[in-house]
A and B are shown apart, each in its own frame.
Chain A
Amino acid sequence: MIDELKTLESSARSEISLSSDPKVLQDLKVKYLGRKGLFAAVSARISEVPGEQKRQAGQELNRVKQALEALFTEKESSLGEGASAPDLRTDTTMPSTVSAAGTLHPLTRVVLDITRIFERIGFTLVEGPEVETEHYNFEALNIPLDHPARDGFDTFYLDDGKLLRSQTSPVQIRVMEKTKPPLKIIAPGKVYRPDATDATHSFMFHQVEGLMVDEGVSFAHLKGVLMAFATEFFGPEAKLKFRPHFFPFTEPSAEIDVWSPTRGWLEILGGGMVHPGVLKGVKIDPEKVTGFAFGMGVERLAMLKYGVEDIRHFFDGDLRFLKQF
């Protein structure tokens, strides 16, 4: 009997494992454990077992019955999960419950776009202080006191005699004092001018300054670097126009217009060859090395890029504006 039971158990096991339909499983259950099932048939013959082996057979009968029952129960429940009808009550169109990611400020993005382009052609990102001295903001840049050249650079003064930088050019001086050529830096930052604030002007705005000083650096290189920037920022059809201009700290100097396919000529940049007096002031010999410098205003570029109509949106903290980025 024990052998029969063993055979029964193993065939039940394999049939159960192969079944995938609750109906089929139900039929199997009847086949094995039903009143007229295979198990019943074997157990009915317990009386035929010789006396001494009866106890052992009885124990084995119990064990197999429990095992079979357990197998059926387990299989029923596993089939039962998949057997229920598809849940049509879950509405997948309801809004997601993970908070939207935050945003970077549009000016941060534009500065990032600009500086990344220059970093790719070998410029290193540096920064300088916003609160500056007469020396760094004017004297070292060849803009003497009481000179009409100062007119373009009106500045805020603080009660301790310092001033708020009116351009990012002081960073050039600070870098050149600490580091000797070869130099290739890009310096973004806030600048301040005592202008009335309106839709296109702000007393506080951002500039990006570039400087390269090395042996044999020429105006042709300035053109090359700015061309690379223009085509990356405005697209492959961008063009540049250089107009002679005057900055006290560069000679020759130019205002540089960029042609964008969508907006025509834009006055965006200023630049030129670093004035030999400026180099001498930071103890760099202009006979050994030459350099170029350039600067651009960021807000204007950001307003063009994103279609912002009023510069004040950048600074009022309006989430309806900030969240769009």
Chain B
Amino acid sequence: MKLPVSWLKEYLDVTLAPDKLADILTMSGTKVEEVKGHDADAVIDLEITTNRSDCLSILGLAREISVLTGKKLRLPYKEAGALPKGKTPVIRVEDKKGCPLYTARILEGVRVGSAPEKARRFLEGAGTRAISNAVDATNYVLFEMGHPLHAFDYDKLEGGVIVVRRSRKGEKFIGIDDVEYTLEEGTLVIADASKPVAIAGVIGGKQTEITAATKNILLEAATFDPVSVRRAARRYKIATESGYRFERGVNPATVWAASQRAASLILEWGGGRQTAVNSVSTLPKTPAKKIMLRMSRLETLLGMKVSAPRAMKILTDLGFAAKLSGKDKLVVTATTARRDVAIEADLIEEILRIEGFEKIPVSIPASRYASGQKFDRRPEKVLELKKFLAAQGLNEAMTYSLLSAKMLEDSGFSIEKGRGVHRVVNPVSAEQEYFRPSLLPGLLGAVLFNVHRKASSVKLFESGNCYLEGREATALGLVLYGAYSENWQRKDKAGFYDAKGLAGNALHFLGVPFREEEKDYLQSPFAFGTRLVSPDGERLGDVASLHPRVLAKWDIPHDVFFVEIDLDAVFGAASPARSLKVVPVPKYPSVRRDIAFVVADSVRVRTLEEAMKKAVPGTLRDVQLFDQFTGKNIPQGKRSLAFSLSYQKEDGTFTEDQISALQKRIGDALKEGFGVEFRA
């Protein structure tokens, strides 16, 4: 809302400089964005919050300044008296809820020309261009009093009637913006005998607009249902000063006074005479609501005291009728000029903003804790987990939750309806059309970003929410690419087993028992992987190597290893703080022996480990794979594996013979079970 200081001075003798005015306005609730120009030309540009429709007018702001400075306000209009009843113009209000009050005035013999220079200057300062005296008069009152009005060329209204109704589907309407609108069913319109001539409260029509040839004017002053106006403005994408004000609520009590004011300006600027007036009102005649203000409640809410007489002065200055009731209560009458003030808390805010927030003292509240109050420990634990992962050498990333179709499809996800991925129905761009069902696409994007900038190693983790099949879940994602460690002494490429280790460490850190389950990952973005499950078999996460198909789509040159852990499942499965029970350190020394053999690739290492332990129950404390090789001397489809075995007895040491016997038992079990071949 633009406030030209020169216009303000029509109603108030302000002596403050514009920037001082701006200060007091800001500090009392109408925030000034900037002050343009100087002295007489100064225009204060304000941001008016949606609840203060009363400040969308020069007079409304003048009242605020009058309260803050103590200067007396000069109203330019008089009390208008009762609403008129006349035979013409004919007004038919078919939608009473949509239009509770419609007034019309006929002005005949008006000469359409320019408005006076001062008025034109004021309008320009307020942000609108001068058009013609009649139209400018309606705009003048819109800005001055906050009442949007409309002037029709009366002779162009078919049948000379005004019908306030809902549009029928397909009706055509040409606005004064020269755009032809095809109306939907149910838009609130002003119509004549045959067609819509205005979208009520939003915009007038070209066919009935005031031109240089206009002689007779029908001046509309009305209130419309804010929701109807808002819907129409949004639906047809028309933003006008008129629509803006009706949406936020216009005071029905001064509609007729506004009509009077505008009529007097038109007649003053263009001559002519008023020949008819009429109105249709279905405004409820309920008495204004009374709001009780307890000064004790003000003190509780604000933490400061205000005297009842002081409160009464503020509210009265602001335009409320207020009476003392006892020593520390006020009875305040609500007013249609301030529909945002409806309850006691609203009155308290009015008093506070005029008194000044700086009057409230500063005090730290005491804390009380309700017994039995349980809050989720999860946010803390996730934070600890993040620090843990950072300590493992990973960098935390944060990627966008909304992705493009391309990112999803390139990562192996389907965006077909019914496959669980949710679409944003009003995206700002195609880049943000889908909510991520997994952290994978975003992390691949991050890998690619770094690959393009010559990174030779990317080790990232991210914790964030995904949405799939109507369920929001928190996931932890890790991604490894390129070197795992890279320095002049060691160069290791990241591998699947590194990813598995990190995932395992993370779960161990969270105190979650888990095991690995083999899975073939067909129809997924993964070439191969392993599933991490709780002891009950519930999925906790996956560790995988990405499929070359996915890497090709993304144009990522080397392997990418990925972990995704469902933190909701994990926290559900975490065992309560395990109390650690130490396993006693063995009394007797263990014996280490190696065993190496050649076996078919298809036999899994875990299977071999379990078989070895089973062959010598109770004596094999540890089996550690320490070498694998293929190639020279090893037949195709087979590999050589070497394990380090650790034998342990509770009650004594082993003899050489006993160890040899155990080794033989293991060897035999492996030969029998898996056809392994021992080297000569």
Contacts and interface: CB of A to CB of B under 8 A. Distances in A.
Given A126-B379, A149-B50, A194-B428, A221 B455 contact: no
Interface in B462-511: 464-465, 467, 470, 472, 485, 487-490
B432 interface: yes
B361 A223 contact: yes
Nearest to B426: A157
A107 interface: yes
Nearest to A190: B401
B390 A318 contact: no
B599 interface: no
Interface string B437-477: 00000110111011001010011110011010010100000
B393 interface: yes
Q: Which 6 A-B pairs have the closest CB atoms?
A: A317-B446, A220-B303, A218-B303, A244-B29, A246-B49, A242-B357
A320 interface: yes
Interface in B329-365: 343-346, 348-349, 352-353, 357-358, 360-365
23 contacts: A95-B487, A100-B393, A101-B391, A102-B394, A102-B461, A103-B395, A105-B398, A126-B375, A126-B376, A126-B379, A130-B465, A130-B472, A148-B248, A156-B427, A160-B422, A164-B424, A164-B435, A214-B368, A216-B300, A218-B300, A220-B360, A315-B398, A317-B397
A137 B639 CA distance: 60
Given A146-B227, A317-B449, A323 B395 contact: yes
Contact of B363 (A131, A156, A223, A252): A223
B383 A180 contact: no
Main secondary structure of the interface of A (DSSP, over half): mixed
Contacts of B646: none
Nearest to B383: A112
Given A102-B392, A103-B396, A273 B301 contact: yes
B397 A158 contact: no
Contact of A104 (B51, B390, B399, B435): B390
Interface of B: 26-29, 31, 49-52, 226-227, 230-231, 247-248, 300-304, 343-346, 348-349, 352-353, 357-358, 360-365, 367-370, 373, 375-376, 378-380, 383, 386-387, 389-402, 422-428, 432, 435, 442-443, 445-447, 449-450, 453, 455, 458-461, 464-465, 467, 470, 472, 485, 487-490
B102 to A, nearest CB: 22
Nearest to A323: B395
Interface stretch (A1-9, A10-18, A117-125): A117-125
A13 B349 CA distance: 98
Given A99-B393, A99-B485, A148 B303 contact: no
B378 A127 contact: yes
Interface residues of A, number: 87
A244 B357 contact: yes
Nearest to B391: A101
A149 B53 CA distance: 12
A152 B345 contact: no
B452 to A, nearest CB: 10
Contacts of A320: 453
Nearest to B304: A220
B397 A322 contact: yes
Contacts of B362: 220, 223-224, 227
Contact of A182 (B368, B423, B426, B432): B368
Given A102-B389, A108-B398, A219-B304, 11 more contacts: A102-B394, A147-B50, A149-B51, A157-B425, A160-B422, A184-B367, A203-B402, A224-B362, A246-B52, A315-B398, A317-B445
Pick the most buried of A204, A217, A219, A273: most chain B CB atoms within 10 A of its CB: A219
Interface string A251-284: 1111100000000000000000101110000000
Contacts of A290: 300-301
Contacts of B400: 204, 315
Contacts of B458: 319
